[in-house]
């Protein structure tokens, strides 16, 4: 799945999280008092409604606190504000006409102070609504999801960095352990032609070039325009265990055609680049350490996570 960089905890949305949680708690625990406070007569009907509103506020509040970067939850607050304004509007009207509306929100009729209370509540909620709107819009704009699929994975290989680098740099050998690649052909000048398996049994082809290369440290490549599926990748090597082993970190990014919609379709078709990358790295480690992709009777094609739950019985293949 695309790994969106989590927006740093937006203080405004955090504040709203606390506000919703706080108000919701009071509404749920002391609905009668809250009714009076906003100028509505506390009856079984209105207290039940207030309690329900309180539960909803609590849910939204805790949701925002748990995931302050999710713009969607702030939009839920806006929707809630509109609903509350509607209810308060009804309360105001019934104060005017001195009758029950929908049998739910009777208002004390005395010196009008309750009508003023309702009016004050409406003003307050209106103000909060505008703030909520602003925060929701701001967070939505900060959403960086542009439909790209990203994967990042790392693995330790029990070989010195020179050997691991050499194995990677031989791009034509990549299909040996990267299951979705059919072939890679170097065409000179740091360029290569790649053919990959795509969802629904098709293939995708593109040209790529090495954009950065530091022996035993880094290889970075990028597809050359125009590519049907623009993509880029990078692998970094770091020696560990006194140089006897290497930490290898791979980052891949690709843009399926169709932006966000294309990405959703790709996901639905079972493409999980993160998982595929981890499988690829496991197979790379097997090949470079043991000389072969490890196969069992249950997994005769080696490590493929998507097939884990649909294994054939552990018997020799016929």
In whole angstroms, the minimum distance from the beta carbon of 307 to another protein comes to: 9
Q: How far is the CB of 312 from another protein (least distance, A)?
A: 8
**Which H/E stretch holds residue 48?**
helix 44-66
Distance of CA 46 to the CA centre of its chain: 39
The least CB distance from residue 123 to another protein, in Å, is 54
Question: How buried is 121 (Cβ within 10 angstroms: 0-12 exposed, 13-18 middle, 19+ buried)?
Answer: buried
# chain residues binding another protein, by CB under 8 A: 31
Site for another protein in 292-311 (CB under 8 A): 292, 294-300, 302-303, 305, 308, 311
The answer to whether 314 contacts another protein (rule: CB under 8 A) is: yes
Q: How many CB atoms lie within 10 A of CB 285?
A: 20
227-256 binders of another protein (CB under 8 A): 241, 245
> Chain centroid to CA 75: how far?
17
**Residue with smaller CB distance to another protein, 82 or 308:** 308
Min dist CB 238 to another protein, Å, is 15
For residue 295, which of 306, 310, 285, 283 has the smallest C-alpha distance?
283
Tell me the closest approach of the beta carbon of residue 67 to another protein, in angstroms.
Answer: 24
Contact 290, 275 (CB under 8 A): no
* Nearer to another protein (CB atom), residue 22 or residue 300: 300
47 binds another protein, rule: CB under 8 A: no
**234 forms bridges with which residues in the sheet?**
220, 251
Does position 44 bind another protein by CB under 8 A? no
Q: How far is CA 138 from CA 22, 72, 118, 143, 226, in A?
A: 23, 11, 30, 9, 34
User: Which residue lies nearer to another protein by CB, 144 or 305?
Assistant: 305
Complex with another protein: residue 258 or 300, whichever CB lies closer:
300
Instruction: Choose the stretch contacting another protein; rule: CB under 8 A; options: 17-25, 69-77, 163-171, 278-286.
Output: 278-286
Looking at beta carbons only, is 8 or 318 nearer to another protein? 318
For the chain, how are helix, strand and coil distributed in percent, rounded to 5? 50, 20, 30
285 is a site residue for another protein (CB under 8 A): yes
Residue 276 CB, nearest distance to another protein (Å)? 12
- CA dihedral (216, 280, 7, 19) positive or negative: negative
Please tell me the number of Cα atoms within 13 Å of 96 on its side-chain side: 6
Strand ranges across the sheet with 231-240:
149-157, 245-254, 231-240, 218-223, 203-214, 191-197, 181-188
Q: Is 188 in the site for another protein (CB under 8 A)?
A: no
Closest separation in Å from C-beta 301 to another protein: 9
Among residues 86, 146, 156, 186, the one that binds another protein under rule CB under 8 A: 156
Could you list the residues that contact another protein (CB under 8 A)?
Answer: 156, 158, 241, 245, 278, 282, 285-286, 289-292, 294-300, 302-303, 305, 308, 311-318
């Amino acid at each position: 799945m695309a790994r969106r960089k989590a927006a740093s905890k937006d203080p405004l949305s955090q504040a709203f999280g606390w506000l919703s949680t706080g108000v919701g708690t009071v509404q749920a625990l002391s609905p009668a008092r809250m009714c009076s406070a906003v100028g509505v007569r506390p009856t079984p009907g209105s207290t039940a409604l207030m309690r329900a509103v309180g539960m909803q506020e609590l849910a939204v509040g805790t949701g925002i606190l748990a995931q302050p970067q999710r713009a969607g939850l702030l939009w839920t607050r806006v929707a809630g504000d509109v609903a509350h304004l509607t209810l308060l509007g009804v309360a105001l009207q019934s104060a005017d006409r001195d009758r029950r509306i929908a049998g739910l929100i009777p208002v004390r009729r005395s010196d009008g102070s309750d009508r003023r209370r309702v009016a004050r509540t409406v003003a307050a909620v209106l103000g909060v609504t505008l703030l909520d709107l602003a925060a929701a819009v701001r967070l939505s704009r900060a959403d960086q999801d542009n439909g790209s699929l990203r994967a990042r994975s790392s693995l330790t290989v029990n070989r010195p960095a020179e050997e691991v680098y050499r194995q990677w740099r031989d791009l034509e050998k990549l299909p040996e352990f990267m299951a979705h690649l059919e072939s890679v052909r170097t065409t000179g000048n740091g360029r290569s032609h790649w053919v990959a398996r795509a969802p629904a049994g098709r293939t995708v082809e593109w040209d790529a070039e090495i954009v950065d290369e530091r022996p035993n440290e880094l290889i970075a490549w990028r597809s050359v325009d125009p590519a049907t599926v623009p993509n880029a990748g990078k692998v970094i090597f770091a020696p560990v265990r006194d140089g006897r082993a290497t930490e290898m970190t791979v980052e891949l990014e690709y843009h399926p055609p169709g932006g966000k919609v294309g990405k959703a379709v790709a996901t639905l078709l079972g493409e999980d680049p993160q998982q595929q990358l981890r499988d690829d790295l496991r197979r790379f480690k097997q090949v470079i350490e043991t000389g072969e992709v490890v196969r069992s009777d249950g997994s005769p094609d080696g490590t493929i996570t998507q097939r884990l739950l649909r294994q054939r019985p552990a018997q020799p293949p016929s």
